[in-house]
Chain A
Amino acid sequence: MKILVAVKQVPERDAQIRVAADGKWIDEGDLSYTINEPDAYALEEALQLKEKNGGEVVVVCAGPERVVSTLREALAKGADRAIHLEADDLGERDTLGIARMLADAVKGEAPDLILTGLQSEDLGLGQTGVVMAELLGIPHATIIMQVEVVDGGVKVKRELEDGWFQHVEMPLPALLTIQSGGNRLRYATLMGIKKAKTKETATVLAGAAVARAVSLERVYLPEKQKKTEMLTGTSAEVAAKLVEKLKFEVRVL
């Protein structure tokens, strides 16, 4: 079974975010980057499926030169090959543009299964996978916790709201967007890191950006709406103030 995993590189969670001078995106100057968390779970699911059913795991990432480090990490964890779709202008493309780019790159690979994360931590669109499936003309399911290969297809466990779940079956090829928490993530071993150096990373130049259907006009810090009473001082002072609040205002002490 050939499994393709689309992984995205996003700013580290603890990064200090500053709006760029043109107000259109964030200042990327001194940011460090990491794999989008749900995509790490998508990769883990792919690696476990391969361990059970055999086959190949190919990772693909669209972005500038820096994303190669994320691909390398995926190779170190056990992916077999990587494809870097090189594009410096992701900001100029909307979901449809990026999904088309990924779908075009994927077509030639003809994977049985495509996995993506359920949403990216920076843009938070939750769409790229679904749009890719539509462009490729294959069935999909979103927010998936478990994948089982069954006769001619897959049976997946979909997460729904409020603690509900549902099993869904579909034929292959198919695309699934993976939710976090379905598996425990593995770490790359020293051996894995060594091996990754011998694995292939193909670089494909992305085509030119086309006209967008939607555009991001401006980014800015959200305006505070709630008047939160901030308690300040040393830890001991803050603790004393909190106890007062707990006693006289919240009344739980």
Chain B
Amino acid sequence: MSGVLVVMEQRGGVLNRMSLEAVAAGRLLAAKVGAECSVAVLGAGGGAGVSDVAKAYSVEHALLKDYTADGYCAALEQLVKKLGPGYVVFPHTYQVRDFAPKLATRFGQVLISDVIGVQDGPVFVRQLLQGKLNADYKQAGAGPCFVSVQAGSFRADVEAGEAVAAEVFVPEIEAAQIRSKPGELFRESAQTVDLSAAQVIVSVGRGIGEQDNIGIVQELADALGAELAASRPICDNGWLPMERQVGSSGQTVAPKLYLAVGISGAIQHLVGMKGSKAVIAINKDEHAPIFEVADFGVVGDLFEVVPELTKAILAARS
């Protein structure tokens, strides 16, 4: 095989959406380089599959039941050596972040991470400076090229046909190779704020400057009858509780209106609010990536715009 191998991620036999997006990226890349696209999934046994790929591999071993970087690297190193793909594509999940750079290192390669586009060459496009710039990357040497793709960048195809039957690959892994002991997954105590049900959300970011200023955004939220939410740095600083954080490590929301105040629009924030029906962004930087997902934008100082808006809304309401 010299084609494209997409390594998918599953939990309890179910593939996550990002894996299907990675398959879409894999198919696109395979078409560009004139090769076949195959898929692999790791686990303790059996699992979900996809249609319309050349081959499917199920990498199975009792030591792969719980994810460990050591176990996954050992297994995938063997699979990649056996198949000899030109490209190995992953979804850019937290799990992939944890092991893919290590796997690439074993092959003397560097993972091209968090890719948002593939062009002829192939050229891989990724973002710099939290989305302010794009950059084109190319593999410079020979050997398998490792690539991970960003959430939401490739449209997952509908898997119409029957899943390609998977060939089982059993890697050789010894318990002693696995140095870390993973525990059960857990969540923090029940959240008292459920932002996912909110119809209107006003969300505040680092542009607010300091904790004492949050009041002006709270007033706007009150005027709109909205829930107050925030980007990560606001919660990191303890200015608002963690449960009001929107994003990949916070809540996922889909309100009728998401009004982002002083939020730049880093991908980890966007994945949590992209499903909103309407987005309004207020930001002083006209190049802020948040405007890429906004229906209405205001380039301006939030300290001027927000109080005026609150006033206008209150006037319209009375």
Q: Which residues of A contact B (CB under 8 A)?
A: 11, 13, 17, 19, 26, 37, 94-96, 99, 118, 121-127, 130-131, 133-135, 139-143, 159-171, 179-181, 184, 211-222, 224-226, 228-232, 235-236, 238-240, 242-243, 245-247, 249-253
Query: From DSSP, what is the main secondary structure of chain B's interface residues?
Result: mixed
Contact status of A246 and B98, CB under 8 A, knowing A212-B140, A214-B112, A214-B140: no
Q: Are B138 and A217 in contact (CB under 8 A)?
A: yes
In the complex, 12 of the A-B residue pairs with CB atoms within 8 angstroms, ordered by the A residue number, are: A17-B129, A121-B129, A125-B113, A133-B102, A140-B69, A163-B249, A212-B140, A220-B133, A221-B287, A229-B295, A235-B300, A253-B316
How far apart are B312's CB and chain A's nearest CB, in angstroms?
A: 4
Q: Does B2 reach chain A (CB closer than 8 Å)? A: no
- CA A17 to CA B25, docked complex, whole Å: 30
Q: Name A244's closest neighbour in chain B (CB-CB).
A: B316
Question: In this complex, which of A121, A139, A238, A251 has the most chain B Cβ atoms within 10 angstroms of its Cβ?
Answer: A238
- CA A247 to CA B296, docked complex, whole Å: 14
How far apart are A134's CB and chain B's nearest CB, in angstroms?
A: 4
Q: Are A159 and B180 in contact (CB under 8 A)?
A: no
How far apart are B63's CB and chain A's nearest CB, in angstroms?
A: 15
- CA A94 to CA B309, docked complex, whole Å: 47
Contact status of A235 and B136, CB under 8 A, knowing A181-B235, A214-B112: no
- Total A-B contacts with CB atoms under 8 angstroms apart: 254
- CA A236 to CA B309, docked complex, whole Å: 7
Q: Which residues of B contact A (CB under 8 A)?
A: 69-70, 93-94, 97-99, 101-102, 104-106, 108-114, 123, 126-141, 143, 179-188, 191, 199-200, 206, 224, 232-233, 235-238, 242, 248-252, 256-257, 277-278, 280-281, 287, 289, 291-300, 304-305, 308-309, 311-313, 316-317
Q: Are A218 and B136 in contact (CB under 8 A)?
A: yes
- CA A221 to CA B137, docked complex, whole Å: 15
Q: Are B251 and A235 in contact (CB under 8 A)?
A: no
Q: Are B139 and A213 in contact (CB under 8 A)?
A: yes
How far apart are A165's CB and chain B's nearest CB, in angstroms?
A: 6
Q: Are A160 and B94 in contact (CB under 8 A)?
A: yes
Q: Which residues of A contact B233 (CB under 8 A)?
A: 37, 180
Add 15 more A-B contacts to A130-B69, A228-B281, A246-B257 (CB < 8 A). Answer: A26-B129, A95-B101, A118-B97, A124-B126, A131-B104, A133-B102, A166-B182, A184-B238, A212-B141, A214-B137, A219-B133, A238-B305, A247-B316, A250-B256, A250-B278
How far apart are A177's CB and chain B's nearest CB, in angstroms?
A: 9
Q: Are B311 and A239 in contact (CB under 8 A)?
A: yes
Q: Which residues of A contact B236 (CB under 8 A)?
A: 180-181
Q: Which residues of B contact A229 (CB under 8 A)?
A: 295-297
Q: Are A239 and B309 in contact (CB under 8 A)?
A: yes
Q: Are B249 and A159 in contact (CB under 8 A)?
A: yes
Q: Which residues of B contact A222 (CB under 8 A)?
A: 127, 131, 133-134, 289, 292
Q: Name A183's closest neighbour in chain B (CB-CB).
A: B236
Query: From DSSP, what is the main secondary structure of chain A's interface residues?
Result: mixed
Return the contact of B109 from the options A133, A213, A240, A251 (Cβ within 8 A). A213
Return the contact of B313 from the options A162, A225, A246 (Cβ within 8 A). A246
Q: Which residues of A contact B70 (CB under 8 A)?
A: 139
Q: Which residues of A contact B141 (CB under 8 A)?
A: 211-213
Q: Which residues of B contact A164 (CB under 8 A)?
A: 185-187
Q: Which residues of B contact A252 (CB under 8 A)?
A: 199-200, 224, 256-257
Return the contact of B132 from the options A17, A94, A215 (Cβ within 8 A). A17
Question: In this complex, which of B110, B127, B224, B238 has the most chain A Cβ atoms within 10 angstroms of its Cβ?
Answer: B110
- CA A4 to CA B242, docked complex, whole Å: 29
Contact status of A166 and B186, CB under 8 A, knowing A125-B113, A216-B135, A221-B133: yes
Q: Are A161 and B248 in contact (CB under 8 A)?
A: yes
Q: Which residues of B contact A140 (CB under 8 A)?
A: 69, 102
How far apart are A130's CB and chain B's nearest CB, in angstroms?
A: 4
